[in-house]
Chains A and B, each alone.
Chain A
Amino acid sequence: MNDDELSAWFVEQVLPLEAVLERYLRRNWRDAGEIADLRQEVYARVYDGCAQRRPESAQAFVLSTARNLLIDRARRAQIVSIETFADMDMLTPTVDELSPERHTAARSELRLLQLALNLLPERCREVIALRKIDGLSQREVAVRMGITEDTVERQVSKGVRALAAALQAARQGTGDAAPVVPLRRKGTLQ
């Protein structure tokens, strides 16, 4: 499979699972500051791991990769403390996480984007809003806001990072978080 096909598969099948993945990582790793790093590591491993064959279920593969990564990291950091996770079984994804995620319906995707937009820093938000809502080009945004095109480009760069993070935060905020007492189905993953 060439890079373009693999990338297309990754965008369509793996990236929509970000909310599920982050939920899983947050539940099973103490250090919240490392979640982004872990998430990207999972993505890289999934991307490389699927170069030859794509898995039947992207979701199961992503969660299984995440689980193995957490075990690796715990071992390497020699975290023997019981506080990190009580037993290996705790890492088993919940039934909730294993069932296929439905594609977000058009309306709620828009709501999510609005929430994300509101989480952006002020200047970023204005640039992104002019660019995405009103459809102005970067040059037109510069004229409208009375700033240089270079500044606009820098704000877009900051903005796309903030947007990706905000979409995640907005998703958690809309109540898609895992239930407090999740049902567990053991032995589903290696």
Chain B
Amino acid sequence: MNNLERIEATAADWIAERDHGDGALPPERQLALQAWLKEATAHRVAFLRLEHAWHRADRLRALQSATPAAVPAWHARLTRASAMRWGAGLGAAVLALVLAIDFGLAPQPHSYATARGQREQVALADGSRLTLNTATALRATVTSKAREVWLDQGEAFFDIAHDASRPFIVHAGGQTVTVLGTRFSLLREGDRLRVAVVEGRVRVEAPRAKPMVLTRDEAALADAGSVVVTRKSPRQLNASLSWMEGKLVFDQVTLAEAARQFNRYGRRQLVIEDAAAARIGIGGVFDANNVEAFARLLHAGFGLDVAVAGDEIRVSSPAAGNQSSGSAVTSMQ
């Protein structure tokens, strides 16, 4: 027990030190942390567990009362940066000055973005939680009066805290999605928006179409002129959310479509070179971040020719005379 306590105390000290630097360590300390983590798995799991608890606690922001004395986050960042540059003495003066200017300014939206292949969870000030998928960008503003998000690009899952006095509104291109409190996902494809509802009620509006209200297990595809609603089985819905666990689930989609989805995640892009290969039906569960493994399976399972050329993986039907073998459904861990 003593050993565990020592390990946990060290892990906690690291988190506190990193927190002192607002989530970042100076390079030599970062190296020291990595070295300590590598020393023993017990170190790493203790650290991950505490880091997770600290991260979860971000949700407590929702309890902040919206009084004039409260300092919005972007604001605090500004004052901290100034204080560090000019020294503690001037810091207080700067803080007072900025506070005076800030009265009456509307809060700036916070921006969040993920890189390709990255997945990120964001806690909003109202207790809602967003999960951003690969290559996603959105902006969020939460005040005591309103909750708004702009989905500029990509895909996100929304776990929204119920608040009848503040409807949660998402703007995605021309479409608008309004909820009170519910769980749903949005995928923006240029001017089209895909909606899938896990729980609750979601209202979807498009510029030139009648608004539609979706409930549990319903999905919609909205463009500028229409909102088309379909019912999904729970299995289909879970499949469309498998990205939240880093997986892609295909249920007899064409290889062309599978490649298109994979290509959202990695630097290496799948290129399907001929129409016959593109039409092959794919089924199974795949690791979204491992397109190389998928390509190997295409070769092993379908006998397709696979060639890596720089940032491309070129896939084509086998040269004449070879038969493809293997089942049409493959799955991997």
Contact = CB atoms under 8 A, between A and B. Distances in A.
A52 to B, nearest CB: 9
B80 A139 contact: yes
A87 interface: no
B61 A43 contact: no
Contacts of A5: 289
A10 B45 contact: yes
Interface of B is mostly: helix
Interface residues of B, number: 55
Contacts of B181: 106-107
Residue of B41, B60, B333 with most partner-chain A CB within 10 A: B60
A56 B20 contact: no
Nearest to B7: A40
A36 B50 contact: no
Contacts of A161: 8-9, 12, 50
A137 interface: yes
Contact of B41 (A15, A47, A140, A153): A47
Contacts of A10: 45, 48
Contacts of B246: 8-9, 12
A156 B15 CA distance: 8
A133 B63 contact: yes
Interface of A: 3, 5, 7-13, 15, 18, 33-34, 36-37, 40-41, 43-44, 47-48, 53-56, 103, 105-107, 109-110, 113-114, 117, 128-129, 131-140, 149, 152-154, 156-158, 160-161, 163-164, 167
17 contacts: A7-B44, A40-B42, A40-B49, A44-B45, A53-B333, A106-B159, A106-B181, A132-B58, A135-B71, A140-B80, A156-B15, A156-B20, A157-B12, A158-B12, A160-B12, A163-B54, A164-B52
